[in-house]
Structure 1
Amino acid sequence: MPELAEIHRIVHFIREHLVGKTLSKVQAQHDDIVFGKVGTSAAEFQKAMQGKKVVGAGQQGKYFWMTMSSPPHAVMHFGMAGWLKIRDADTYYYRSDKPGDEEWPPKYWKFLLETSDEVKTEAAFVDARRLARIRLVDCPADEIRSHTPLKENGPDPVTDKDIVNESWLTEKLGKKKVPIKALLLDQANISGIGNWMGDEILYHAKIHPEQYSNTLKEEQIKELHTAIHYVCSTSIGVLADSEKFPEHWLFKHRWGKGKKNHLNALPNGDKISFLTVGGRTSAVVPAVQKKTGAVAKDIEEDATPSTPANSKRRRVAPKKESESEVEESQTKKRVTSKQKKPVMKTEDSDEEKTKPAVVGRRRSTRITK
């Protein structure tokens, strides 16, 4: 899922290519999930955007918006695999050599925008997996963050740097007894930090992801505060281009998990281990990230394979099971259900806690051939 750094990248391109321009043509294809789940229709979106000027763009964590010359404004979330393409602009945070990626309009588009200037700009919001959300917020531009869904989310460590200070962090950590990684991933606490950014922050802070948040000592909280702002500012400073990330970052060496003949280790030899924390696979360097307090129990090692560090990132459809495999799986489930008592399960939210079904996808930001 695109995280704070990747969203910063697309906001940059919106400001560069769309802000200050009038939308002469808007097309939207209705989707009962992408539009409908948040109370908007394609027709309403098209009517609200048509003929308006884009006067600004903003971000809070994983959400971003375009402010228009008059309300309502478009507030968007990419979900797991959504993105905003701008024709002839390199907006993507990874590169692909698939012929289909050059098509226009692109596949799976939800809306298309075209500007009125002589050299027109064309943009398309795409989402193959339909986990993105597009809504209209009817309010003055400077009040967008006071409305749903932004008001339910925590501060953005970049936009709200003055809020996310040591004092705020100390109070937040002390009030909760959850694994620190889970706290960072919870968008109600702090906006924009996802899986790779959370791991990178905890690695630089030398904090184990399983450790309970309320057990961190004062010095650890200082290190965590420093790491949050260091990772965020560094990654957005290069527009989420991972080729420009520092070579000593965990990000550069974490993607070979599960691959034969690949050493899960940093260049200095420190081993990289993988745990499931907060429902997500977490990369951790035990030699650096020591457990200094109580930790969450029942953490299982995650066996989901990932792509090697030198491969191109791909969005791969989940493997389809054959009829015999499906039948065998259903038989096993029936047998298991007779042997085990049912357990209660909690349902993840559509926008923030959906675990990706895609495997073999490198969480890299930009990949060259």
Structure 2
Amino acid sequence: MPELAEVSRIVHFIRQHLVGKSLSKVSTQNDDIIYGKAGTSAAEFQKAMEGKKVVGAGQQGKYFWIAMSSPPHAVMHFGMAGWLKIRDADTYYYRTDKPADKEWPPKYWKFLLETDGDPTTEAAFVDFRRLGRIRLVNCPEDQIRKHSPLKENGPDPVADKDVVTEDWLAAKLRSKKVPVKALLLDQANISGIGNWMGDEILYHAKIHPEQYSNTLTDGQAKELHSAIHYICSTSVDLLADSEKFPEDWLFKYRWAKGKKTMPTLLNGEKITFLTVGGRTSAVVPSVQKKTGPVAKEVKGEEESEAQNNTKRKRGAAVKKESDAEQSEEEPKIKKAAPKGRPKKIKEASDEKKPEVSEQPPAGRRRSTRLKK
């Protein structure tokens, strides 16, 4: 999912290519999920945007907006796989050489924008998983953050540095008894931090992701505050281009999960993977020690999966003993109840995720910006 840094990248390109230009043509495709779940329709979006001038763009965490010359304004969320493409611009945070990604209009587009002037600029919102959201917010531009869904979300650590202070964070940590990783991912607390950024922050702060937030010491809270601003500000300044990320970042090495050899940092320290709050977390055990109570004793994913498989096999082999009146020829077998997967922590800003109705293209995103 695009996180604070990736969304900041697209806001940068909107300001560079669209702000100051009028939308001479807006095309939309009806989608009752992407538009409808956000309370609008494709037709309403087209009518509200066409013929108006783009006067600004902004961001709060994973949400971003395009401000128009008059209300309403477009407020969007990429969900898991959405993105805004601008024709002939390198907007993507990962590189691809697939011919299909060069097509225009692109596949899975939800709206197409075309500006006036010469040359024109063309942009498209794409989302093959249909988990993104496109809505209209009818208010003055400077009031967008005071309306839903932004008003329900926490401060943005880059845009709201004066809010996300050491004292503010310490109070937030003390007010909740949840794994610290879960606290960071909850958009009602802080906007924009997702899985990879949360792992990077905790690694640099030397804090185990499962430790209860209210057990962190004053020193740990201070380190966490410093790490939040360092990771968020640096990744935003670099436009989410991972090739430019510092070599000591966990991000550079975490993507080897599932390979035969365990991934390691540049200095040789091993990276393990844990499930925290239903999300895979990359952890460096030699750095991130448990210094207080944790939500549970978490095991590595490979070990947990192996144990689950063993239990399932044993459960399938065990038969319930016959009742006194039950014949031996027709024994009743009670199947062991399957163990459910841990529930994912719901981010305050996220809508209920619909089932995927379209087949995704081959391949998956593994990093913020992959090399060619």
What residue identity is the alignment partner of 2:130?
R
1:321 corresponding residue in structure 2: none
Q: What is the rounded CA distance, in whole Å, between the counterparts of 1:63 and 1:9 in structure 2?
A: 12
1:183-262 equivalences in 2 (<5 Å): 183-260=183-260, 262=261
- Residues 186 and 277 (structure 1), Cα distance of their counterparts in 2 relative to 1, 3 Å cut: same
- Tell me if 1:135 matches 2:125: no
How far is 1:237 from its partner? 1.0
2:275 corresponding residue in structure 1: 276
2:293 corresponding residue in structure 1: 294
| Aligned partners of 1:255 and 1:362 also within 8 Å | no
SS at match of 1:268: coil
1:320 corresponding residue in structure 2: none
| Aligned partners of 1:93 and 1:240 also within 8 Å | yes
Moved more, 295-304 or 269-278: 295-304
Q: Deviation string for 1:101-157 (max 9, x for gaps)?
A: 010000000000000112100000000000000000000110000110000100000
Q: Taking structure 1 as the reference length, what is the TM-score of the superposition?
A: 0.87
**Count of aligned pairs between the two proteins:** 340
Q: Deviation string for 1:29-78 (max 9, x for gaps)?
A: 11010000011100000000010000000000000000100000000000
What residue identity is the alignment partner of 1:361?
R
Q: Deviation string for 1:311-340 (max 9, x for gaps)?
A: xxxxxxxxxxxxxxxxxxxx99xx998432
Q: Deviation string for 1:208-253 (max 9, x for gaps)?
A: 0000000000010110000000001110111000000000100001
| Aligned partners of 1:207 and 1:289 also within 8 Å | yes
Hey, which bits of structure 1, 4+ residues long, moved more than 2 A? 298-304, 335-363
Q: What is the rounded CA distance, in whole Å, between the counterparts of 1:115 and 1:204 in structure 2?
A: 43
| Aligned partners of 2:84 and 2:125 also within 8 Å | yes
Q: What is the rounded CA distance, in whole Å, between the counterparts of 2:185 and 2:299 in structure 1?
A: 18
Q: What is the rounded CA distance, in whole Å, between the counterparts of 1:19 and 1:336 in structure 2?
A: 67
What residue identity is the alignment partner of 1:365?
T
1:11-50 equivalences in 2 (<5 Å): 11-50=11-50
Greater Rg, structure 1 or structure 2?
Answer: 2
What residue identity is the alignment partner of 1:190?
I
What residue identity is the alignment partner of 1:237?
D
Q: What is the rounded CA distance, in whole Å, between the counterparts of 1:143 and 1:361 in structure 2?
A: 37
**Which runs of no fewer than 5 residues in structure 2 stay unpaired?**
304-315, 318-331
- Residues 287 and 278 (structure 1), Cα distance of their counterparts in 2 relative to 1, 3 Å cut: same
| Aligned partners of 1:132 and 1:351 also within 8 Å | no
- Residues 165 and 336 (structure 1), Cα distance of their counterparts in 2 relative to 1, 3 Å cut: farther
SS at match of 2:8: helix
Q: What is the rounded CA distance, in whole Å, between the counterparts of 1:341 and 1:253 in structure 2?
A: 34
1:328 corresponding residue in structure 2: none
Pairing partner for 2:337 from 332, 337, 340: 340
- Residues 64 and 303 (structure 1), Cα distance of their counterparts in 2 relative to 1, 3 Å cut: farther
| Aligned partners of 1:131 and 1:351 also within 8 Å | no
1:71-220 equivalences in 2 (<5 Å): 71-220=71-220
- Residues 259 and 36 (structure 1), Cα distance of their counterparts in 2 relative to 1, 3 Å cut: same
